[in-house]
Amino acid sequence: MKKQKALIFRCSSCGHEEAKWLGRCPSCGEWNTLVEEVAAAHISGGAKTERRIPQSFPLARVSVEDTTRLSSGIEELDRVLGGGIMRRSVTLVGGEPGIGKSTLLLQAAAAIPAKGRILYISGEESAGQIKLRADRLKLNYTNIEIFCSGVLPEIETVLNALHPILVIVDSAQTLYSPDLGSAPCTINQMKYCSFELINWVKDHDAALFLVAHITKDGLIAGPKTLEHMVDTVLYFEQTDAESRFLRASKNRFGSVDEIGIFTMSEKGLLPVEDPSLLFLVRRDNQLPPGIATASVLEGSRCLLVEIQALTVPAKGGISRVFSDKIDGARVSRVAATLEKNLALRLSDQDIYVNVAGGIRINEVGLDLALAAALYSARTGIPLPLRSAVSGELTLAAEVMPVKRLDGRLKAAAGLGFDFFAGPRAENISIPNGITFYAAKTLGEAIKALFAS
Ligand code: TYD
Ligand code: MG
């Protein structure tokens, strides 16, 4: 007797599975999102799966050649990946529609030094559209093969004929396999097809980039369900019309602290040579109150970033913190430290904090600059022009050492800063033209910064 296919109902919003249809997903609460599909256990089988004899091998026999990397030809992208594209690696590139994912990957495909074929698979744009874009960006596309389809068996045929070293899939959401019972664009389709492509690149020594669209709240469940299947997850963020930040949120082959900074121009995505220029506002005479410049470490780079603070009396006496670029809990902690140690009343104020250029910063060395900005905002006394600050604060208002103080001082000196307040440190070389004040406590640092 023919075995009947088992059906399940899966939420197209969060991926939750149910045995029967429901009007509302019990997991995410969305209405009418459950769609019928064949249970995964019933899809495999048939002629397609060739059985290999499973075999283990000694770890000692694994060749280290496996760790060779291929440069993407774009330094900012290589840095975020941890030094280039790893062989057999899979990278998910997420971001809102229109942010520049396709542009970045097309530019990378053209910039990769020729070592083999690069296959760009697009289920979203036509070959003509991609050619127009490549021409407009004046790319050298001699190594790029293009295939406009999202149908998995067709893609597999092309892969087996071409044997590319790099495969770019734009986007995972357009992948579709008729082998699977469910409709196109469902989470199961995306997961199943991505899984098959991941297996192909791992078996054939290639690398894969999967593009995934995410919505404004960044929490669309679809691409999130791919995260555990891939080696690296990169997210593209936009802060203003032109700037784009590329961050790794997972990286099996490198750190997740690095960011790639680009501007979108009519020539495509351009790497930003001097990122500090994006995060500083040039002022000639005097700083307004509430502005401090922090010398922070972002991955392997030192950046100078303007911190802006504003305090206004809180309505009803309940103080609130409005800060989306610096963690609100950190702002509250630094404000409490200021209040306790310098008798500066902030607990009856609403506190607004912003970072010029819209970059998000989590680095510990930011504390002292944040304290200086809050102090300046509350007292109305501006910081001196061309002063920079670095240092972590303890709850007892001590200034703690920060990593790579030398580099932070050098970056500040290079941008024309002439005063730097930071933690005490041994054996640091102070660049010409900058006065370094080593503070033991928050009180000392504030005194030195606001002395003039
Ligand atoms: P795109 O790479 O298509 O975004 P995604 O793949 O993430 O959806 O980028 C589209 C946007 O970028 C579009 O709004 C136009 C803009 N853009 C430029 O400003 N300059 C350029 O050279 C290119 C190619 C795109
Ligand atoms: Mg696109």
- The reported pTM is 0.78
Task: 340-347: list long-range contacts, CB under 8 Å, 24+ apart.
Answer: 340/397, 341/396, 341/397, 341/441, 341/442, 341/443, 342/375, 342/397, 342/442, 342/443, 342/446, 344/375, 344/378, 344/379, 345/378, 346/311, 346/319, 346/374, 346/378, 347/319
Q: Taking residues 38-64, report their average pLDDT.
A: 66
Confidence of residue 269 (pLDDT cuts 50, 70, 90): very high
Task: Kindly give the number of the ligand 1 atom that is closest to the alpha carbon of 133.
Answer: 24
Q: Taking residues 95-110, report their average pLDDT.
A: 94
CATH of 69-273, one of 3.30.920.30, 3.40.50.2300, 3.40.50.300, 3.30.830.10: 3.40.50.300
437: enclosing H helix or E strand: strand 435-439
Please give the distance, rounded to the nearest whole angstrom, from the Cα atom of residue 236 to the centre of ligand 1: 12
Please give the distance, rounded to the nearest whole angstrom, from the Cα atom of residue 124 to the centre of ligand 2: 7
User: What residues line ligand 1, using a CB cutoff of 6 Å?
Assistant: 95, 97-103, 133, 137, 264, 266, 268
**Average pLDDT score over the chain:** 88
Please give the distance, rounded to the nearest whole angstrom, from the Cα atom of residue 197 to the centre of ligand 1: 26
* Closest residue to atom 15 of ligand 1, CA basis: 98
Check residue 219 and give its pLDDT.
Answer: 53
Q: pLDDT higher for 274 or 308?
A: 308
Which ligand minimizes its atom distance to the CA of 236?
Answer: 1
- Spatial separation of the C-alpha atoms in residues 421 and 368, rounded to whole Å: 9
pLDDT at residue 76 greater than cutoff 80: yes
pLDDT at residue 452 greater than cutoff 70: no
* Closest residue to atom 23 of ligand 1, CA basis: 268
- Spatial separation of the C-alpha atoms in residues 174 and 94, rounded to whole Å: 14
Q: Taking residues 186-210, report their average pLDDT.
A: 93
* Cis status, amide bond into 171, omega within 30 of 0: yes
Are the CB atoms for 376 and 383 separated by under 8 Å? Answer: yes
Kindly list the domain boundaries of the chain, sorted by start residue.
Answer: 7-39, 69-273, 278-449
Q: Give pLDDT tens digits for 429-445.
A: 899 999 999 999 999 99
311: enclosing H helix or E strand: strand 301-313
Are the CB atoms for 149 and 191 separated by under 8 Å? Answer: no
Mean pLDDT check: name the lowest of 19-23, 323-327, 422-426.
Answer: 19-23
Q: Does domain 278-449 correspond to CATH entry 3.90.190.20?
A: no
Check residue 5 and give its pLDDT.
Answer: 60
The single-letter code of the amino acid at 19 is A
- Cα 253–82–80 angle (5° rounding)? 125
Please give the distance, rounded to the nearest whole angstrom, from the Cα atom of residue 172 to the centre of ligand 2: 11
374: enclosing H helix or E strand: helix 367-379
Task: Kindly give the number of the ligand 1 atom that is closest to the alpha carbon of 103.
Answer: 2
Which ligand minimizes its atom distance to the CA of 263?
Answer: 1
Please give the distance, rounded to the nearest whole angstrom, from the Cα atom of residue 297 to the centre of ligand 2: 31
Please give the distance, rounded to the nearest whole angstrom, from the Cα atom of residue 99 to the centre of ligand 1: 6
Region of 100 (left: φ > 0; alpha: ψ -120 to 50; beta: rest) is: left
Check residue 127 and give its pLDDT.
Answer: 95
Mean pLDDT check: name the lowest of 10-14, 168-172, 409-413.
Answer: 10-14
Are the CB atoms for 207 and 89 separated by under 8 Å? Answer: yes
- Spatial separation of the C-alpha atoms in residues 170 and 125, rounded to whole Å: 9
- Write out the two tokens for 28: 């995410």
Check residue 2 and give its pLDDT.
Answer: 45
Q: Give pLDDT tens digits for 379-433.
A: 999 999 999 999 999 999 999 999 999 999 999 998 889 999 999 998 888 999 9
Query: 137 by DSSP, 3-state: which?
Result: coil
Q: pLDDT higher for 221 or 54?
A: 54
Task: Kindly give the number of the ligand 1 atom that is closest to the alpha carbon of 95.
Answer: 7
User: Which residues sit with Cβ closer than 5 angstroms to ligand 2, an ion?
Assistant: 102
pLDDT at residue 13 greater than cutoff 80: no
pLDDT at residue 222 greater than cutoff 80: no
From 77, 99, 103, the mutation candidate for ligand 1 (largest count of ligand atoms within 8 A of CB) is 103
pLDDT at residue 343 greater than cutoff 90: yes
C-alpha neighbours within 13 Å on the C-beta side of residue 232:
34
Check residue 67 and give its pLDDT.
Answer: 62
Task: Kindly give the number of the ligand 1 atom that is closest to the alpha carbon of 236.
Answer: 7
